[in-house]
């Protein structure tokens, strides 16, 4: 009995050894096959087709996309029984035929998503720009994956970190034949949502661009008075991204953002002259305008050659009487007058983001203003003074905001999900003038529009305060007539100011004729949509 038990036990142990040995043999064979297969596959040629799905977003203040606003569909395909079907869906059938003839995997645009299989794989692609791109000068553009101007340039590195690229890889043999039995490898990019959130309001931006369309050369910029957030910024003329060569050779320079460039200012600067006078107790100054005045033997003329008669400061602002402000400036110490202008933002750059910087313009030096004629010109915004629309807008915000000057900004923050804003900073304000002086200047601006029967700036649905300019440029047209820059700057509503608007029409003529109608259209449009 013991011997029989022992033999059975030996048989069981032997069976286990045989079983384990069989497993080892099978494992060795499996590994061997895998290595052989891996080595075999390493000899394949990989043919990969990439589809760029887009880059990071640029949003408006309400997280409405300003880029990536439309979609296209691209399909990666190979020569297959589906050729006829795919050709019918191709946007460009001749391109499809050309790519198919190359006998390798290719991509082409389709009118819709294609049902994916081994022969064809479709991807949704975001179109970076539209045919009529909103806020084009602020956004700028990309070329060959690199930001060239505007926010595209400023945030180029961040946008390039966003991987929106999908791909399809096929395996081919040594002769380039696709090995269908090996299948394909598909890498689909994650949906893009992250990006930059601006302060732009897409609805207000559209209003600005519509108002400025076909108006020659110039700029329109709108800001929230309390925050300095730029909600609309248009430069005109605009340009088409698919016709950059034409834009580059255009003498009107449509590629530049005119909000960032400096121009002769004119009578808008009388607000600064009035501010300095009020600071120095000259608010009661009166002068009888006869149409001309003398400054050290040099005759300066008022635009009204017959004269305005006796003027106080409010009347002189309404009538835009040059000789009044020249006579007023004779009471100023030049260096102190210049300092007031400097404190109100003239002679300073305004940086909205990297590469989006408003120039400092030209603020005459103390030495230059020691010359009586230069001081006279400075008093009504002429001579060597130049400023950007941004600087004029910032001054207007300061007056409307009771002397608190907001630092203009165009970036609100960043977003990772397209729903929430991160890294948002609080608005910054700087004390620039006494509240009572600001209120007095507001009254002057109210009178300049509402007591002027000839004003073309009066909207139908709200009451505005503002000041126009007709600035000499020292340049002449072919007929020998001097060119003028037309300006207007103002705010609304009158009693509870919310928005400031500045309009420049370069070489446009009189401010009341060229700039005021654009201003009125912008104000009416904003008042209409914000009253809903």
Closest CA to 501 of 394, 367, 358, 357: 394
The pLDDT value given to residue 6: 52
Dihedral in degrees, nearest 10, Cα atoms 377, 382, 385, 391: 130
- Predicted TM-score (pTM) of this structure: 0.88
Residues 352 and 382 in one domain: yes
Closest CA to 110 of 127, 122, 97, 128: 122
Final residue before a domain boundary, out of 182, 198, 214:
198
DSSP assignment of 352-407 equals: EETTEEE---B---HHHHTSHHHHHHHHTT-TT-EE-HHHHHHHHHHHHTTTEEEP
Q: Is the bond preceding 493 in cis, omega lying within 30 degrees of 0?
A: yes
CATH number at residue 84: 3.90.1310.10
Residues 421 and 522 in one domain: yes
Final residue before a domain boundary, out of 167, 198, 229:
198
Residues 407 and 525 in one domain: yes
Residues 228 and 354 in one domain: yes
Within 13 Å of residue 289, how many CA atoms lie on the same side as its CB? Answer: 27
Question: For every one of its 532 residues, what pLDDT tens digit does the chain have, with 9 covering 90 and above?
Answer: 444 445 555 565 555 555 555 555 556 555 444 444 444 445 578 899 999 988 999 999 999 999 999 999 999 999 999 999 999 999 999 999 999 999 899 999 999 999 999 999 999 999 999 878 999 999 999 988 899 999 999 999 999 888 789 999 999 887 778 888 888 999 998 889 999 999 999 999 999 999 999 899 999 999 999 999 999 999 999 998 888 888 888 889 999 999 999 999 999 999 999 999 999 999 999 999 999 999 999 999 998 889 999 999 999 999 999 999 999 999 999 999 999 999 999 999 999 998 899 999 999 999 999 999 999 999 999 999 999 999 999 999 999 999 999 999 999 999 999 999 999 989 999 999 999 999 999 999 999 999 999 999 999 999 999 999 999 999 998 889 999 999 999 999 999 999 999 999 999 999 999 999 999 999 999 999 987 6
The pLDDT value given to residue 74: 97
271 domain residue, yes or no? yes
Residues 249 and 180 in one domain: no
The pLDDT value given to residue 14: 54
CATH number at residue 326: 3.40.710.10
Residues 223 and 337 in one domain: yes
Strand partners, 287: 311
Final residue before a domain boundary, out of 175, 198, 221:
198
Residues 433 and 343 in one domain: yes
The pLDDT value given to residue 259: 98
216 by DSSP, 3-state: which? coil
CB neighbours (10 Å) of residue 431? Answer: 11
The pLDDT value given to residue 164: 83
Q: 80 Cβ partners below 8 Å, 6+ apart?
A: 118, 119, 120
33 domain residue, yes or no? no
CB 229 within 8 A of CB 190: no
The pLDDT value given to residue 18: 53
The pLDDT value given to residue 224: 98
Q: 56 Cβ partners below 8 Å, 6+ apart?
A: 155, 158, 159, 161, 162, 192, 194, 195, 196
Residues 75 and 206 in one domain: no
CB 270 within 8 A of CB 328: no
Residues 419 and 381 in one domain: yes
Strand partners, 406: 429
Domain assignment of residue 345, given as a range? 202-530
Q: How many whole angstroms separate alpha carbon 502 and alpha carbon 468?
A: 10
20 domain residue, yes or no? no
| Number of structural domains in the chain | 2
Q: In this structure, what are the phi and psi dihedrals at residue 318, rounded to the nearest 5 degrees?
A: -65, -45
The pLDDT value given to residue 519: 98
| Helix ranges, 226-385 (H) | 244-249, 270-279, 313-319, 322-329, 334-343, 366-369, 372-379
38 domain residue, yes or no? no
Q: How many whole angstroms separate alpha carbon 121 and alpha carbon 256?
A: 41
Residues 274 and 356 in one domain: yes
CB 171 within 8 A of CB 44: yes
Residues 149 and 238 in one domain: no
- Which helix H or strand E contains 36, and what residues bound it? helix 2-42
Residues 176 and 228 in one domain: no
26 domain residue, yes or no? no
CB neighbours (10 Å) of residue 82? Answer: 17
Q: 414 Cβ partners below 8 Å, 6+ apart?
A: 194, 195, 196, 197, 421, 422, 423
């Amino acid at each position: 009995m013991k011997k029989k038990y022992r033999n059975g036990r030996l048989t069981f142990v032997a069976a286990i050894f045989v079983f384990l040995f069989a497993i080892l043999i099978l494992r060795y064979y499996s590994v061997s096959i895998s290595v052989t297969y891996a080595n075999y596959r390493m000899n394949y040629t990989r043919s990969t087709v990439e589809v760029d799905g887009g880059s990071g977003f640029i949003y408006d203040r309400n997280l409405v996309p300003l880029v990536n606003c439309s979609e296209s569909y691209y399909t990666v395909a190979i020569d297959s029984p589906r050729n006829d079907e795919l050709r019918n869906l191709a946007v460009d059938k001749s391109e499809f035929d050309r790519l198919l003839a190359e006998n390798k995997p290719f991509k082409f645009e389709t009118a819709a998503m294609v049902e994916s299989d081994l022969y064809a794989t479709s991807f949704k692609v975001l179109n970076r720009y539209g045919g009529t791109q909103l806020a084009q000068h602020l956004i700028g553009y990309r070329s060959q994956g690199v930001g060239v101007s505007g926010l595209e340039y400023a945030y180029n590195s961040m946008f390039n970190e966003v991987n929106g690229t999908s791909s399809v890889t096929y395996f081919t043999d040594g002769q380039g034949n696709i090995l269908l039995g090996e299948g394909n490898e598909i890498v689909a990019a994650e949906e893009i949502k992250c990006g930059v959130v601006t302060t732009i309001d897409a609805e207000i931006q559209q209003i600005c661009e519509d108002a400025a369309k076909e108006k020659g050369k110039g700029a329109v910029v709108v800001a929230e008075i309390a925050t300095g957030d730029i909600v609309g910024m248009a430069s005109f003329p605009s340009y088409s991204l698919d016709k950059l060569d034409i834009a580059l050779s255009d003498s009107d320079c449509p590629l530049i953002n005119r909000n960032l460039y400096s121009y002769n200012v004119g009578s808008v600067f009388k607000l600064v002259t009035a501010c300095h006078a009020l600071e120095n107790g000259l608010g009661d100054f009166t002068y009888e305008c006869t149409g001309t005045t003398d400054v050290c033997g040099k005759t300066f003329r008022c635009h009204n050659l017959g004269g305005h008669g006796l003027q106080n400061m409010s009347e002189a602002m309404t009538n835009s009487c040059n000789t009044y402000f020249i006579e007023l400036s004779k009471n100023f110490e030049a260096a102190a007058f210049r300092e007031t202008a400097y404190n109100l933002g003239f002679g300073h750059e305004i940086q909205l983001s990297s590469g989006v910087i408003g120039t400092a313009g030209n603020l005459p030096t103390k030495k230059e203003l020691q010359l009586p004629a230069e001081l006279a010109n400075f008093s009504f915004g002429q001579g060597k003074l130049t400023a950007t629309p941004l600087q004029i807008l910032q001054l207007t915000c300061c007056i409307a905001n009771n002397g608190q000057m907001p630092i203009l900004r165009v970036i609100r923050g960043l977003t990772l999900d397209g729903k929430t804003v991160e890294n948002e900073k609080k608005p910054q304000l700087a004390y620039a003038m006494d509240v009572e002086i600001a209120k007095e200047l507001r009254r002057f601006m109210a009178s300049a529009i509402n007591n002027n029967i000839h004003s073309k700036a009066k909207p139908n649905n709200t009451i505005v305060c503002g000041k126009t300019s007709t600035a000499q440029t020292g340049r002449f047209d072919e007929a020998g007539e001097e060119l003028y820059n037309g300006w207007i700057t103002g705010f609304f509503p009158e009693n509870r100011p919310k928005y400031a608007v500045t309009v420049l029409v370069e070489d446009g003529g009189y401010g009341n004729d060229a700039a005021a109608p654009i201003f009125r259209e912008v104000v009416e449009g904003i008042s209409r949509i914000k009253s809903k």
